[in-house]
Chains A and B, each alone.
Chain A
Amino acid sequence: MSFVLILLTLLLAVPVMAAEGVITIAVVTQERDPVQPVSPLDREIRDEGVAGARLGIADNVTTGRFTKQRFVLVERTVPKGGSPADAVRVLGAEGIRFVVTDLDASALVAAASDAHAREMLLINARAPDDELRNEACRANVLHTMPSRAMLADALAQYLMTKRWRRWFLVTGSQPGDRLLSAAYRQAAKRFGAEIMAEREWTFRPGHARTDTGHVTLQSEIPALSQVADYDVLVVADEANEFGDYLPGRTARPRPVAGTHGLVTAAWSPVSEQWGATQLQARFEKFAGRRMGAVDYAAWAAVRAIGEAAIHSRSSEPSAIMGYLRSADFMLSGFKGQGQSFRPWDGQMRQPILIAGPRLLVSVSPQAGYLHRGSELDTLGTDREESRCRF
C-alpha cells in the first residue's frame, strides 16, 4: 500500500494536466454534514466515494505501466454553499476532461449544463435520481450509481421470487425517500406485487441512542405498523434516519427490506462472491474500512475510464469517451457479469446486490426475468420507456 501511496503522491506532485499519454480524472465531492450512524457498530465515514476513486486510480496505474499510460487523480472538495459547477468549470480550464461527481442531482445538472462542460465527461457516482436518466439527462453524463428504479426493480424481482407479494411501504420524510417510494410503487406494478398499506415515518430521528430510546421505539413502531396483514415491510429511508429501528419491532413478525434489513445496493461491504474478496481486500488496505455503494460507484467510474483508455489504446479524451459508450466496452465489476453503459440514458447496467446485515442474500436480476437483449436491462428504465433525449 505504501508503495502505491508514494506513487500517487509522486504523480500528484508534478503538473499533469493534459499532458500526452496522461489521463487525468478529477473527483468532485460536495461537503456534507457528518452523519451520526444509528448503530454503535458503524463508524462515521469521511472519505466515502473518494476512497473508491483512489483505489480505481491505483488499479488503472498498475495496468497503465504495461500500456505506457499514466493515470492521475485530482481531488476537489466543494465547501458547503460553494458551487460545484464552478469547480467543474475550473477543472475544465485546467484541461481536465473526466470528472467523477460525488454530487446531488441538482448540483450535477448545473455542472453538466454549463457551456464549458460540453467537451467534458461527468460520471455520476452519487445521485440515484431517475430524473437524471430521463427528463434531465445530459449527453455528457454517465451514471455508475444505479437509479432508484433499478434498486426497486431488483428488490421487486427478489420479493416476487420469494412470493412475498403483499408489501407494507414505510417512507421517510426526505425528498429522496418519496422518490424511492414512487420507484417501489412502480416496481410493484411492474412485477405484480400489491401494496397493502403505506405509512410515513414522522418521528424525530436519532433518539434510540439515548438511555431509554428503545422504550420509545418499542411503543412507536408497533403503533406505526398496526396495518392489515402483509408479507414484507418495504422501507424507504435513504438518509438512515430510522430504518435500522424497524427489524424486530414491527407489530407483525415480518421481514424488512429496501434501504434496511434486506438492502438493495450496487455494492455491499458483505459481498465476497465473483472475486469480490479481492476488491474488498484491496479497498480495506487502502481505506481501513469496508467498501460501500458510493465507494463502489466512484471506483467503477474511474475504472471505466481506465478500461476505455487501455482497450481503445488511446489517451485521447474523445477516443476514450467514444469507447466508453460503444458496444465493445465492458467493465469487470466483481458481480459476475460484464457491466456497460446503456446508450439511451448513460446508465451503467449492472447486477444489484440484495444484502443482509452480515452476508449476501441474493443478486438481481433473478432467474427467469428474461429480456430480448441483456437481462440486466430488466432493472430500471428500458430503451422503450426512456424519456431521455440527448
Chain B
Amino acid sequence: MQVLILVIFGFVFTLQAAWAETVYVSNEQDNTVSVIDGSRLQLVDTIPVGRRPRGIGLSADRQKLYVAVGDDNRIDVVDLKTRKIEGFLPSGEDPELFVLHPDGRRLFVANENDNLVSVLDIPERRIVTEVEVGVEPEGMGVSPDGRYVVNTSETTSMLHVIDAQTLELVDNVLVGTRPRMAQVSADSRQIWVSSELRGTVEVFDTETREPLAKIGFEVPGVPHELIQAVGIQLTSDGSRTYVALGPANRVAEVDAKTFEVLRTYLVGQRVWHIALSPDGRRLYTANGNSSDVSVIDLENREVVKTIGVGRSPWGLVVAP
C-alpha cells in the first residue's frame, strides 16, 4: 500500500514537474478568461474581464496577463498571482490582437475599426504612435530579433511589414483573402501568414518579402469552403508549424522545412487560435463553436483531452 501511494505520489510529482504550465483562454461571448491547470488539464478558475475579450498575451516578466477587450476599447491587465484585474492600458479603438515587442516595453495593437496599428508604451501607459494599415487590421507578429512587426489586414488582404525602430511601413504584400494570423519564425527569417477564406498559409522571406511557399490543406469529407486557415503556431526549433483550420475542426501539422502537410488532428468545432506548451510537447486549441479547449499530445500524436471553458473561446496563451 505504502509503495503504491509512493508510486502515485511520484507519478503525480513527475507530471506536475513536466506539465506545470497554466493556460489562459479568452472567451469572446462570456467576457471572461478561463484558467486551465496544465498539470491536471482541468479548468481551475474563471476571471471576469471587459467586454468581447479576444487577443491575449503575457507581460515580459510573465506576472501579468494582457487581454484586449474590444468593446471596451482597452487592454485589461490581470495580475496572475491574484487573478484579478489590476488596471488597464489604453489601446485605441476596438483592439483585437496585439504582440509584445522583445524590448518588453512596447505593445503593438491592431485596432480593427480604425485601420491602425497602435504602438503602446506600457510603462508610460500611452500610445506613442499609430501606423496606418489596410482595412480591418487583425494578425500581429514580431520578429524575435526585434527588427520587424508584421500585421495583416483582413479586408485589404495584405501583410504589412513595419520597421520596429522607425515605426514606418517597410512593405505591403498582397496575400490570400481575409488573412488572419501572421507569425515570424524563431530565427526571424520567415513570416507565416494564414488566409481564412482561401484556406492557405503563405510563407515569406522576412528581408526580401519574396514568397517561399503557399500551403494548401485537404480534409477528406470536408467541403473546400470549410477548410479555412486561422491560428498559426511555429515551434521554437523551427521544425514544425501548426495551423488551425477553423470550421474544418482540424489542426494541421506542417513540416516547417519542406512545407509538407504531415497530418491533421480532429479537435472541437471552429478551432480559432492555438498555443504550444513551453516544452513544445502539447498544443492547446480554442474551439469557438463547441466552447472547449482540445489538448493535443504532439509526441503521441493524439488528442488527449477536451476541456470545457466559457462561451466562444477565441485566443489562448500558455504560461510556464
Contacts and interface: CB of A to CB of B under 8 A. Distances in A.
A268 B49 CA distance: 30
A142 to B, nearest CB: 18
Instruction: Give the 9 A-B CB pairs with smallest separation, nearest first.
Output: A66-B172, A338-B197, A63-B156, A332-B178, A337-B225, A330-B177, A62-B135, A332-B177, A59-B135
B112 interface: yes
B225 A375 contact: yes
A63 B134 contact: yes
Contacts of A332: 154-155, 157, 177-178, 196-197
Contact of A374 (B155, B197, B225): B225
Interface of A: 59, 62-63, 66-67, 275, 278, 281-282, 307, 310-311, 313, 330-332, 336-338, 370, 374-376
B304 interface: no
27 contacts: A59-B135, A59-B156, A62-B134, A62-B156, A63-B153, A63-B156, A63-B157, A66-B156, A66-B172, A67-B172, A67-B174, A278-B112, A278-B154, A307-B177, A310-B157, A311-B157, A311-B174, A313-B174, A332-B154, A332-B155, A332-B197, A336-B247, A337-B197, A337-B226, A338-B197, A338-B198, A370-B223
Contacts of A338: 177, 197-198, 225
A331 B153 CA distance: 14
Nearest to A349: B225
Nearest to B155: A59
Contacts of B225: 337-338, 374-376
B113 interface: yes
Contacts of A62: 115, 134-135, 156
Nearest to B247: A336
A375 B223 CA distance: 8
Interface residues of B, number: 24
A374 B158 CA distance: 26
Nearest to A62: B135
A278 B115 contact: no
A79 to B, nearest CB: 35
A283 B5 CA distance: 65
Contacts of B202: none
A311 B115 CA distance: 20
Nearest to B171: A66
A337 B223 CA distance: 11
Nearest to A337: B225
Interface in B133-186: 134-136, 153-158, 172, 174, 177-178
Contacts of A330: 177, 197-198
Contact of B158 (A66, A331, A370): A66
Interface in B89-127: 112-113, 115
Given A62-B115, A336-B247, 7 more contacts: A62-B156, A67-B172, A275-B136, A275-B178, A311-B157, A337-B225, A375-B225
Chain A interface SS verdict (over half): helix
Contacts of A307: 157, 177
A359 to B, nearest CB: 13
Interface centre among A62, A67, A313 (most CB of B within 10 A): A62
Contact of A282 (B113, B153, B178): B113
A275 B197 CA distance: 12
A338 B200 CA distance: 13
B39 to A, nearest CB: 36
Nearest to B179: A332
Contacts of A59: 135, 155-156
Interface in B220-250: 223-226, 247
Interface centre among B113, B136, B156, B178 (most CB of A within 10 A): B156
Nearest to B225: A337
B154 A281 contact: no
Contacts of B198: 330, 338
Nearest to A63: B156
A63 B155 CA distance: 8
A63 B197 contact: no
A311 B177 CA distance: 10
A277 to B, nearest CB: 9
A235 B154 CA distance: 37
A328 to B, nearest CB: 10
B85 to A, nearest CB: 24
Nearest to B172: A66
Contacts of A336: 247
Interface centre among A59, A63, A67, A375 (most CB of B within 10 A): A63
Contacts of B177: 307, 330-332, 338
A337 B157 CA distance: 15
Contacts of B172: 66-67
Interface centre among A281, A307, A313, A337 (most CB of B within 10 A): A337
Contacts of A331: 177
Contacts of B247: 336
Nearest to A331: B177
A65 B113 CA distance: 18
A106 B80 CA distance: 66
A63 B113 contact: no
A59 B226 CA distance: 26
Contacts of A67: 172, 174
A311 B112 CA distance: 22
Contacts of B112: 278
Interface centre among B113, B178, B224 (most CB of A within 10 A): B178
Contacts of A313: 174
Interface string B186-223: 00000000001110000000000000000000000001
A337 B115 CA distance: 23
A376 B197 CA distance: 14
Nearest to B138: A275
A278 B197 CA distance: 17
Interface centre among B134, B135, B174, B226 (most CB of A within 10 A): B135
Contacts of B156: 59, 62-63, 66
A77 to B, nearest CB: 28
A278 B174 contact: no
B158 A63 contact: yes
Contacts of B136: 275, 278
A282 B177 CA distance: 19
A66 B197 contact: no
Nearest to B112: A278
A343 to B, nearest CB: 17
